Chains A and B, each alone.
Chain A
């Protein structure tokens, strides 16, 4: 074999283990559950292969599923907006900070390393009936009895914001960091107020980061079932909780397959839309 041919083959040898693993453990399984979602769970609990549209008819027409899907999208949207409002100024501050930028960035990375389940449950200690807030309120004499603040949609959103905010701040920071600071000065010297130069120069240039952060917050938020399970009440299930129920509790796997494909379809469409308009580059910058 010539040296050129060997050179050309080398990268494929290096890539093949990863590509093989992802093909066999992700791509083929996703295609498999597409087929599986047309199979049927019989009354005795067996799964009958074939082409039955029952699961899809259920998933697409049942009001219960549709309502929870809409609730899930609404919760994810509210979470994303709150993350953007809270995160943008913080990201701006980090990007423009002079002194302790390294420390601020380290503190921003830290939540990614602190366990998701711990961060989620920590709100029980803040808002629970024996939590910090109730203790303080009673100690101050504002309330005499503990107030039930937990286990509703608001606490689910709170938990999601707490989980997803670092993703937003990081992505906005990455794009703001790439914006030349002197551009704002230039706008200023041409007569723009600080606010104007921010709105017309900096903000538009940071929109890709904001969009990347928003996409991550929305997709990760809409796909979770742990946060509603820990911080929500019995009526605050999100769509992924339905998938969990179908697969783990009811053992109706074909139905679970159809439900998870619907979730993939909705969130996948969003990712595709993002990719079409903005490309994956910005997202990769924020993740790496």
Chain B
């Protein structure tokens, strides 16, 4: 296979990945009232209707809260664990790493069933708390992987310099390590947020009746019929889950450029 053919193949693969999503975004601006082809004109009306729909707004609020709390908890736990894994020589490192990433290795359906039945047995029924527990458990490994990867590149000697000048370990952490770590913390938090915001597999098992997140709301709406509001909601969701990381990337690049100039 020649290089040209591989190039064409790659373009086709990218088209395959993005064309269907492009269609959803395009249709969300469709003026026609069935949310499908043909396009009859461009309009923002479905975005307007989105904000008049109480069920959708409730789902959006639930998802934003859940994602934010999940990100806060997972990032805190994940940063601490990553520090231990990168900064210390600990025994049983491999076993510990395996335990920490176990939630990725267990199929999410199984994780969902196990957590649901166990907490139900303990008297914790389907609730926001159960959802939060669930989301923390399956975002944690991803946060640890991302933070660990960044942590490795932060030099140790700056911390040692601070300590040798008399800073306590806690002072050193807050004045030296944490500021240097911020990009990793932000990346981990963003990752946890988008994974949580996007989750449906576990969420459908854990959510109480009547509570919907954005993905489960879309899933429920799909069962009735395709409505143009779904497209608008989908576009909004893409904006949040893909827009946020892209924004983060742009900001971190800008900061890096400024730092380079300062050097």
Interface residues of A (CB under 8 A from B): 10-12, 14-15, 17-19, 21-23, 25-30, 32-33, 36, 86-87, 89-90, 92-94, 104, 106-107, 109-111, 113-119, 121-126, 128, 130-132, 135, 162, 165-166, 169, 219-220, 222-226, 229-230, 240, 243-244, 247-248, 253, 256-257, 260-261, 263-264, 267-268, 271, 280, 284, 287-288
Contact = CB atoms under 8 A, between A and B. Distances in A.
Contacts of A17: 76-77, 80-81
Contact of B6 (A89, A226, A288): A89
B99 interface: yes
11 contacts: A11-B90, A26-B111, A89-B6, A93-B10, A115-B241, A119-B21, A132-B23, A224-B201, A226-B219, A240-B109, A280-B101
B201 A121 contact: no
Contacts, number: 248
Nearest to A216: B104
B56 interface: no
B178 interface: no
Contacts of B108: 223
A106 B250 CA distance: 12
Contact of B109 (A93, A135, A260): A260
Which 5 residue pairs spanning A and B have beta carbons closest together? A223-B107, A122-B20, A29-B118, A29-B114, A130-B36
Interface in B217-263: 218-219, 222, 226, 230, 234, 237-238, 241-242, 245-246, 249
B142 to A, nearest CB: 7
A219 B119 CA distance: 26
A220 B138 CA distance: 14
Interface of B: 1, 6-7, 9-10, 13-14, 16-21, 23-24, 27, 34, 36-38, 76-78, 80-81, 83-85, 87-88, 90, 96-111, 113-119, 121, 133-134, 136-137, 140, 142, 144-146, 148-149, 169, 194, 198, 200-201, 204-205, 215, 218-219, 222, 226, 230, 234, 237-238, 241-242, 245-246, 249
Contact of A288 (B19, B103, B149, B169): B149
Given A11-B90, A25-B137, A111-B21, 19 more contacts: A11-B84, A15-B90, A17-B81, A18-B140, A19-B96, A22-B99, A22-B100, A33-B114, A93-B6, A93-B9, A110-B18, A113-B241, A115-B215, A122-B23, A126-B19, A229-B219, A244-B205, A263-B107, A263-B110
Contact of B106 (A30, A226, A280, A287): A30
Given A89-B10, A90-B13, A253-B117, A15 B110 contact: no
A199 B233 CA distance: 46
B30 to A, nearest CB: 10
B219 A18 contact: no
Nearest to A240: B109
A162 B20 contact: yes
Contact of A135 (B38, B100, B201): B38
Contacts of B85: 11, 15
Nearest to A20: B77
Contact of B114 (A11, A21, A26, A280): A26
A110 B14 CA distance: 11
B37 A287 contact: no
A247 B17 contact: no
Nearest to B73: A21
B239 to A, nearest CB: 10
A215 to B, nearest CB: 10
Contacts of A122: 20-21, 23-24, 234
Contacts of B109: 223-225, 240, 243-244, 260, 263
